[in-house]
Structure 1
Amino acid sequence: MKKMTNYSYVSFPQLQILKFQLHPNNEVLTRFLENNGKNLKELNLGEDYDSLNSSIFKFCTYLRKLSAGFKNDELGMLKIVFESCKYLKCIEIYCRGNLLSEKEALSEIVKYSHENISEIILHHYYTQSTKLLPEELESFIVSWTNYIPQRLLFLVIVTNNYCKESLEKSEENIKIINKYIVLGVIKNFKSKDYDYEEHLKGNIINI
């Protein structure tokens, strides 16, 4: 683990996976990614922050996976992400409190994502503030089927014992998911507990 302020001006040409335990200062992060973002394939910004600076994503155009929390009053941020990161295949969104709910996250993804996006991870740290209704889940999946060219969906829910409202806790939601697995729209669905050891894989930086 390293302190980011010590390396914000340094270039690491071999750096491909970067993860934060806490969201760093936007100015320091922007400076670091300006030097190192072009090489990154995976970026995990964590979920604890005040506000994201949209300019950071223009330095990470070759990302394949992004993990971040987006505040529910910054709905346009995901549009900027998808416009900047054209090679992005997987997006992991932290859902809690003042961050996007499951409904808001899925709505923004289906509205703005590009053809390379196939895997969506909804990550719950604490209890979900609003429950995703079955009709809202099905509306998202139906919208996903309208993409041309069609793309398969990999859906992952990361949860914990404190979260009682995440979408996989609803039997009706599971029925809908199974329906679209049979129809070949959802390639894979998985619900799993948060794995701290998995999070530690890669370069972890403290602020």
Structure 2
Amino acid sequence: MSCQLPADCLNEIFEYLEKDKVTLHSCLLVNRLWCEISVRILWRNIWIPVGYEHRLKVETSILNTLIACLPNKSKTHLLEKGILNSTQISKSCFFDYPSFCKVLSIHMIGQMIIDVFKNQKYLAKEIMKMFMTRSYLKKLSYYNNPNTLNLSFIRYPRAKDCFTRLTKLTCSSDIKSVFFYKLSQISFNIQSLTIEFNGTISEDLKNLIISQNNLKNLSLSQPFFSMTDWSDIIPSLIKHSNTIIKLKIYWEACNLLIRTKKLSFITKFLNLQELVLSFQRNDHFDEINNILQYSIFPHLQILKFPYRYPKVDILIKFLKNNGKNLKEFYINYTLPILPVNDLLNLKISRYCPNLKLLSTLFKKVESLKIFFNRCQQLECFETHYNYGLSERDILGALAEYSPKNFFKLKLLYYSYSQLTPDDLEEFFINWKNRLQQKSFYFTMIGKFNNIDDSYINRLKNDENMKMIEKYKKLGIIKKFEIINH
């Protein structure tokens, strides 16, 4: 007699697969119990992008399912308009799929309808009415682009119930003001807010921000060609300075007239645990360089500079004041024009002794050794093989000098790996012989503009993979993956 896992166990397992849509879809086909559990997770967020080659097939499948779920009145209306045929309206569904949806992406719905039906505003309207009457949304994504549905869905019947539980909003600032006004009357518990600044900023967006009770995560983005001056919105943001623990600023704007002249407000957020400053140009830091060196964030645990970073002397002073509690530190060295600075690395190790994750480059093995000796809590190291130490030097240093808690390496590539089977075996033997050793996680990430399968195939050549599989069976490697990024 076969043994069937209880539903609560299956649910916990399937939760880990939420972003793996292919595997979740396979779970639907096992049996009725698996289907009933996995379908709710699969449809919780159906807007996760898929590869271009499968996009149209997936979009068609999603839209056909949503059409089958439409009430009979909507189907009849669309049949009379010549948008649907008798075959389409005759289909029914096993589940009430819209009720499972907790995430809604307005611009992605518009893109799907354009891709599959070319352009059908009537269909979009009926689908949105259905979501408003059957869903209780937790996340809403609403960007104003050519494919965005120009519908007043916020005024539809039962929209109030639909958005009352909203906790996450991502939007552009140039959405019609009535949307922000109505939402400010409905949703008071948004905890995560992402704003992309385009065009004007309405008073109603400010009111929406002010009306929130517990805003925790804030992301602000200034696109490359945006001319929006968002200084007027800063007082609304500062109102939440005591509750915001994550702040991310993406600044791509090239217009120097609106350059970060108002970014000094970040010093008001004294309870920050995570700070991400993603600036495309060095001079974007000019306005805040002087204040950064004196800023103190006593709870800061994560600090990231995905593109450029402040002047080295400024950054060192900042780390001196804020590095004690840092758990993650990230500097992007993907641009060759950024020199490898071992002096900065040594200062990081001095002022940030409790780091668990580090992403940077090292020029000398000796500097990496010193870093490992000082940062005994380090668990993960992420680096770019092309611009710093060689792969062999990195693996050798890890095996000999990394602290006892270390177990994960991520190598980013802009060219082919130079590792040989002998290099890998030497590392695995040395790792096995460590006095204190955890099973190793090894990730190779290729970052190319026009990557092809030959790159992946070369990384997965037979001899290297045989070596990796050998030490997987021995328990030395816990996980090995190659990611085409």
Quickly name the TM-score band, shorter chain normalised: 0.7 to 0.9
User: Residues 150, 15 of structure 1: CA spacing in aligned structure 2 closer, same or farther, 3 A cutoff?
Assistant: closer
User: Residues 154, 28 of structure 1: CA spacing in aligned structure 2 closer, same or farther, 3 A cutoff?
Assistant: same
**Does the 8 Å CA contact 2:456/2:482 hold for their aligned counterparts?**
no
User: Residues 167, 85 of structure 1: CA spacing in aligned structure 2 closer, same or farther, 3 A cutoff?
Assistant: farther
In structure 2, what is the equivalent of residue 46 of structure 1? 332
Across the two proteins, how many residue pairs are aligned to each other? 189
Q: Normalising by structure 2, what TM-score?
A: 0.37
Tell me whether 1:115 sits opposite 2:404 in the alignment. Answer: yes
Q: CA deviation at 1:118?
A: 0.7
Of the three residues 358, 373, 376, the one matched with 1:66 is: 358
How far apart, CA to CA, are the structure 1 residues paired with 2:315 and 2:402?
24
When Rg is computed on C-alpha atoms for both structures, the one with the higher figure is 2
More helix by share: 2
More strand by share: 1
How far apart, CA to CA, are the structure 1 residues paired with 2:389 and 2:401?
15
Of the three residues 131, 138, 142, the one matched with 2:425 is: 138
Q: Normalising by structure 1, what TM-score?
A: 0.83
Q: CA deviation at 1:172?
A: 1.2
Q: CA deviation at 1:43?
A: 0.4
How far apart, CA to CA, are the structure 2 residues paired with 1:104 and 1:24?
29
User: Residues 113, 7 of structure 1: CA spacing in aligned structure 2 closer, same or farther, 3 A cutoff?
Assistant: same
How far apart, CA to CA, are the structure 2 residues paired with 1:159 and 1:7?
33
**Does the 8 Å CA contact 1:18/1:43 hold for their aligned counterparts?**
yes
What do the CA deviations read for 1:138-191 (whole angstroms, capped 9, x no partner)?
110110000113321111111134594998343211111111111111011121
In structure 1, what is the equivalent of residue 317 of structure 2? 31
In structure 2, what is the equivalent of residue 201 of structure 1? none
In structure 2, what is the equivalent of residue 156 of structure 1? 443
Which runs of 5 or more residues in structure 2 are unaligned?
1-248, 250-276, 278-284
Q: CA deviation at 1:192?
A: 1.3
In structure 1, what is the equivalent of residue 28 of structure 2? none
Match of 2:483, SS state, is: strand
How far apart, CA to CA, are the structure 1 residues paired with 2:309 and 2:466?
36
Paired AA for residue 88 in structure 1: L
Q: CA deviation at 1:23?
A: 4.5
How far apart, CA to CA, are the structure 1 residues paired with 2:456 and 2:389?
14
Match of 1:83, SS state, is: helix
Paired AA for residue 127 in structure 1: S
Q: Percent identity?
A: 34
Tell me whether 1:127 sits opposite 2:415 in the alignment. Answer: yes
User: Residues 189, 10 of structure 1: CA spacing in aligned structure 2 closer, same or farther, 3 A cutoff?
Assistant: same
